[in-house]
Amino acid sequence: MLGQMMHRPLSIIEILRFSAETHPKGEIVSVRTEGDIHRYTYPDAYKRVGQLAHALKKLGIKAGDRVATLAWNGYRHFELYYAIAGVGAVCHTINPRLSAEQMIYITQHAQDCIMCVDLTFVPLIEALADKFPADMRFILMTDRAHMPESPIEFLCYEELVANEPTDFDWVELPEDTAAGLCYTSGTTGNPKGALYSHRSTVLHALMVVVTLAKMLNEGARVLPVVPLFHVNAWGLPYSAPLTGSSLIFPGAALDGASLFELMAREKVTSAWGVPTVWLGLQGEIAKRGQNPEGFSSVIVGGSAAPRSMIESFEKCGIDVCHAWGMTEMSPIGTSGLLSSHHLETLSHDAQIDLKSCQGRRAFGVDLKIVDEAGKPLPHDGEAIGELYVRGNTIVSGYFENEEASQAAMDAEGWFGTGDVASIDKEGFLLIQDRAKDLIKSGGEWISSIDLENIVMGHPDVANCAVIAVPHPKWDERPLLVIVPNGDKRVSKEEVDALLLKEVAKWQLPDAIEFIDALPMTATGKVSKLTLRQRFKDYKLPS
Ligand code: ADP
């Protein structure tokens, strides 16, 4: 017997319509590429999105067309998210940190017809324009006064929207209509596209709101340092308006001092981003000896949050939530918020330990770990296997890429994350490593994340990474690469002594190398691939 309830299609624009009606005081504050600060409310944003939708229609955008964006976090980028999806087209966010080859590849693969660009990227467009799809047009996200001289015929964003009506007759779209497209950074092979739908996006927004209600509520002021150009800034453009939280968009300046200033001025309550960004902010907090006023929580994800980072935030009274996810998961998969019984019964140290795990699954995300034969392993905190996921916010395949789609899914339709993990009895996920970053030594695995986590706790270490280097007897052995904090170079003996408190002797790195900076991927993670290439002929001490 079927239920007798209405079936209304889930639709992205409904989020903003709701927000404009219900949270009229919710603000969007943006640091603009023009150099000033812009602020308006959700009702203002909704009107501008209506104008932009008219403009897109006039430009001939049809259902299913891909409209690319190449832009920082700001209100115009936010408007594009809603207007593009609202007219039934697909918002393809491009990561400006991708290599030129990858950018050309994805615009060709996606067949983008228009690209909306922030001022910063004019030189990039001028250099690459003739390699993009032949009919592509470019919109510059600024006003007439800031339009530069350029051989490219840029359309002016503000002129396009200026005289359009604010009301737009949003058509009802089937909820499975594609709405967003984001390519993985493709550290191996070509980038692969995750194609989000209205349904998956709205469900993800609801899921995030429920999971992270502590940080997302009416009156909260949220800083997405995570970019709109990659995995929808962890869904914040949707989940924040839904709750009436204000959004503070930082623009291009993401160094510790700029973030601190912005957070203090705008009374940011919660900030979301990858660990590398928080290293900068923590340095600034230490320098000034105070937090930005009102700052009470931080979400760290995208790569493993070092224990020392969690501890030092908590010492300043900032609640840390360590989250895990992937482009292919919209992206949130887990949240590390502790339950009241943890807070009441666990010692401070035990709480930090638990927060160093990647947290428990969000509602709607199923997790399983499997052995090499694909057999499910117990969630007992001991068994370690490859992590698979299933749910309404997870890709069922990659955009126009049959081969990668088949390789990613198992026979029961679960998606293989490429991560190796354990899950304990309470459901806490512990990511051991990316499968390709694990170090295989004499048939045993060494987790690079484990070692990095411990070494990061040393005061003379600013950042570090552990990679596998080939070894004639053991196949691979760990090499520790350290970016020193100041002039002092920590000795191997000191590092070993620190590590031996928590790991076995055979897991100790064979050698340490010091470098000035770690290579980063386009998504702000340490590029282990680049490091492995750099040290591929490294001779370990015998
Ligand atoms: P890409 O960088 O290729 O675009 P994503 O941004 O989707 O990929 O990154 C997903 C991967 O990042 C995960 O599979 C996992 O390896 C890693 N990751 C994300 N969050 C965490 C975390 N909290 N701890 C450890 N690893 C993480």
Structure tokens at 245: 């939280």
Whether 184 is catalytic is yes
Q: Which of 196, 229, 260 is the last residue of a domain?
A: 196
Of all atoms in ligand 1, which is nearest to the CA of residue 525?
2
Q: Which of 196, 211, 231 is the last residue of a domain?
A: 196
> Do 138 and 114 touch, CB atoms closer than 8 A?
yes
State residue 187's pLDDT score: 64
Task: Return the amino acid letter for 77.
Answer: H
This prediction's pTM: 0.94
Would residue 309 count as lying in a domain? Answer: no
The span from the CA of 56 to the CA of 90, in Å, is 12
Mutate to test the pocket of ligand 1, among 190, 354, 419 (most ligand atoms within 8 A of CB): 419
The span from the CA of 338 to the CA of 153, in Å, is 53
State residue 443's pLDDT score: 84
Of all atoms in ligand 1, which is nearest to the CA of residue 304?
24
The span from the CA of 148 to the CA of 126, in Å, is 12
Domain co-membership, 419 together with 490: no
Whether 211 is catalytic is no
Q: How many domains does the chain have?
A: 3
Of 66, 149, 144, nearest in space to 106 by CA: 66
10-residue stretch averages of pLDDT, the chain, 542 residues long: 97 98 98 97 98 98 98 98 98 94 96 98 96 96 98 97 97 97 81 97 98 96 97 97 98 96 98 94 96 97 94 96 97 97 97 97 98 96 97 98 95 96 98 92 90 94 94 92 94 95 93 95 88 91 80
Domain co-membership, 397 together with 457: no
* Backbone angles phi and psi of 418, in degrees to 5: 80, 0
State residue 188's pLDDT score: 67
Q: Which residues form ligand 1's pocket by a CB distance below 6 Å?
A: 184-185, 187, 301-304, 322, 324-327, 331, 358, 417-419, 431, 434, 521, 523, 525
The catalytic residue among 22, 120, 166, 440 is 440
The catalytic residue among 164, 284, 328, 452 is 328
Whether 445 is catalytic is yes
Boundaries of domain holding 142: 8-196
Would residue 333 count as lying in a domain? Answer: no
Domain co-membership, 75 together with 122: yes
Task: Return the amino acid letter for 126.
Answer: E
- Match 């000795």 to its residue by tokens: 491
The span from the CA of 22 to the CA of 77, in Å, is 22
Domain co-membership, 510 together with 388: no
What CATH number is attached to the domain comprising 175? Answer: 3.40.50.12780
Domain co-membership, 25 together with 173: yes
Domain co-membership, 48 together with 110: yes
Would residue 331 count as lying in a domain? Answer: no
CA 331 to chain CA centroid, Å, is 7
Whether 474 is catalytic is no
* Alpha helices (H) in 267-325, listed in sequence order: 275-288, 307-315
The span from the CA of 406 to the CA of 410, in Å, is 8
Would residue 230 count as lying in a domain? Answer: no
Helix then strand count (H, E) for the chain reads 17, 26
Domain co-membership, 387 together with 528: no
Domain co-membership, 189 together with 91: yes
The span from the CA of 527 to the CA of 484, in Å, is 18
Would residue 338 count as lying in a domain? Answer: no
CA dist 357 to 334, 338, 426, Å? 10, 11, 12
**DSSP type of residue 190:** S
Domain co-membership, 392 together with 495: no
What CATH number is attached to the domain comprising 396? Answer: 2.30.38.10
Domain co-membership, 373 together with 513: no
What CATH number is attached to the domain comprising 477? Answer: 3.30.300.30
Would residue 178 count as lying in a domain? Answer: yes
Would residue 353 count as lying in a domain? Answer: no
* Backbone angles phi and psi of 417, in degrees to 5: -80, -20
Domain co-membership, 448 together with 480: yes
Task: Return the amino acid letter for 172.
Answer: E
Would residue 183 count as lying in a domain? Answer: yes
Q: Which of 434, 464, 482 is the last residue of a domain?
A: 434
Strand 27-31 relative to strand 37-41, pairing: antiparallel
Domain co-membership, 145 together with 48: yes
The span from the CA of 463 to the CA of 456, in Å, is 6
> Do 116 and 70 touch, CB atoms closer than 8 A?
yes
